[in-house]
Amino acid sequence: MLVCSCNFITDSEIVDVINELLDEDCWQLIVPAKVYHAMQKRGRCCGCFPNVVDIIIRTTEQYHAGRHSTDDEIFDFMIRLKQFHEENRRADLERRQKSHRAA
């Protein structure tokens, strides 16, 4: 399924990159920009980023479920990952509202 219409990126391509990043460091916090950078792409309108965040969270959960990570490690990491993305989402909304008011 096409996730990013600006760059023609599918969900399976995103999942593959996330798994490669997790193979390098399974506890790193992955953001959409890191995924796109690894694909040598960049966000243009960035309208796909909320969906990419959902794919990152889902893929990371599945990655750790299939490994020898303990439930406590996974729980702590997923809480940190979700908080990190929620803070980024809030900051992005505030930025958009400020730029909308300035226009």
* Binding stretches for ligand FES (CB under 6 A): 4-7, 43-48
Taking the least distance from each CB to ligand FES, the nearer of 49 and 77 is 49
- CA-CA distance, 28 to 74, in Å (whole number)? 12
- CA-CA distance, 27 to 55, in Å (whole number)? 16
* Minimum CB distance to ligand FES, residue 15 (Å): 16
Taking the least distance from each CB to ligand FES, the nearer of 32 and 77 is 32
* Minimum CB distance to ligand FES, residue 95 (Å): 16
